[in-house]
Structures are given as C-alpha cells and as structure tokens.
C-alpha cells in the first residue's frame, strides 16, 4: 500500500508499506478516504515539531470506511463510516482516570509519535474510532477533528449567547472556533 511519509525535514515521499492487519481482538481495519493537512503536519515536514520522530507517516485528521473488525469489537461493523480520535492513551493513569486522556502519562499522538493516516489503510483500537452518518460527505467528515478543537476552545472559554469573542487567526481552527461560538 502507499503512504505519505516525511523521512527528514523537507523530504516527503510516497512510500510503499505493508498493509496493516488486525493483531488484537479490539482492533478495526479502516480504508482511509480523506485526510486533512494540519499545520502540525507542516511543522513535521519542516522539521520544526520537536515531538515528532522521523521517519513518520503524517496525518491525524482522518475519515474512512471500516473494512474488518476484531472479535471483541461491538460498536462498529464493516461498511461503517468513521472518524478517528488521534490520541492513544492508557486509560489507567491519574489523568485518564480523571477523564483527561489528552494528558495521559503514556500519550501517543497519531501522525506524530506513531504513523498517521496518510496511507491507504490503518488499524486502530475500537475506542479511537467514532461512527459518523453515511450521509455525511467524506470532505465534511474529515473536519471532525478540527471542529473538536473549536468546540474545546468555546467550552473552555465558557462562551455563551451574547458574548463577544476575539478569535486571533482566520485559519481552519479559527474558523471552527467562529462557527462553534
């Protein structure tokens, strides 16, 4: 299968890789349909993301179609459309137990610490995949991750009807904040 990989700063290639297979009962094989290009992907390409290890398949804004599910997967089936949650977390550390898996002691970010979605197929645990309507076009479904950033900003800012909001930056995340506010 083909994958987009940053080998080193400013060295982006289309690499040939083995198609992943299910190895655990809670895993799901997904055919990638769309991947957004985030500013953090550009930082990895430019070699300025200090957290990324190279070589790396980039991409964490991903939507796709389920092809196969492990024996213990209950919420998804072949043919479902999904978006990914791009963080892997332990579920047992203090942060995870307090509902903050985004600061897990063993946090791993898809497309930064581990290979991401700019490839034909991915395998992820069921808990990192969320079904979306098949009526939602792929081009819209892929925006789920940026919209969660906008939603988080509005929630943390406690924005309410009638509030005045300053949004610095009119890129994709700024626009998502605007739409959520």
Domains and CATH numbers, the chain: 2-136 (3.90.180.10), 143-181 (no CATH)
Report d(CA 168, CA 49) in Å as an integer: 22
| Residue 35 pLDDT | 98
pLDDT band at 170 (very low <50, low <70, confident <90, very high): confident
The answer to whether 118 and 112 have CB atoms below 8 angstroms apart is no
The answer to whether 33 and 64 have CB atoms below 8 angstroms apart is yes
Mean pLDDT (whole number) for 25-47? 96
pLDDT band at 156 (very low <50, low <70, confident <90, very high): very high
| Residue 169 pLDDT | 87
pTM, entire model: 0.91
With a pLDDT cut of 90, the percent of the chain lying above it is 97
Q: Which residues of 107-126 are buried (b: 16+ CB within 10 A; e: fewer)?
A: bebbbbeebbbbbebbbbeb
Token pair recorded at residue 104 = 């897990």
* Residue 110, phi then psi, degrees to nearest 5: -60, 125
Mean pLDDT (whole number) for 110-123? 97
The answer to whether 83 and 61 have CB atoms below 8 angstroms apart is no
Report d(CA 128, CA 30) in Å as an integer: 12
| Residue 48 pLDDT | 96
């Amino acid at each position: 299968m083909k994958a987009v990989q940053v080998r080193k700063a400013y060295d982006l290639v289309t690499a040939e890789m083995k198609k992943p297979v299910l190895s655990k009962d809670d895993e799901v094989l997904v055919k990638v349909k769309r991947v957004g290009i985030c500013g953090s992907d550009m930082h990895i390409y430019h070699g300025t993301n200090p957290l990324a290890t190279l070589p790396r398949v980039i991409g964490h804004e991903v939507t796709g179609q389920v092809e196969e599910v492990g024996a213990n997967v209950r919420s998804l089936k072949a043919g479902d459309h999904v978006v990914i949650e791009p963080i892997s977390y332990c579920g047992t550390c203090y942060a995870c137990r307090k509902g903050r898996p985004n600061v897990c002691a063993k946090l791993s970010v898809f497309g930064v610490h581990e290979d991401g979605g700019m490839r034909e197929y991915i395998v992820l645990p069921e808990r990192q995949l969320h079904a979306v309507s098949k009526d939602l076009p792929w081009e819209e479904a892929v925006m789920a991750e940026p919209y969660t950033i906008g939603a988080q900003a509005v929630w943390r800012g406690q924005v309410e009807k009638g509030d005045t909001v300053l949004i610095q930056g009119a890129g994709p995340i700024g626009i998502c904040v605007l739409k959520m506010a």
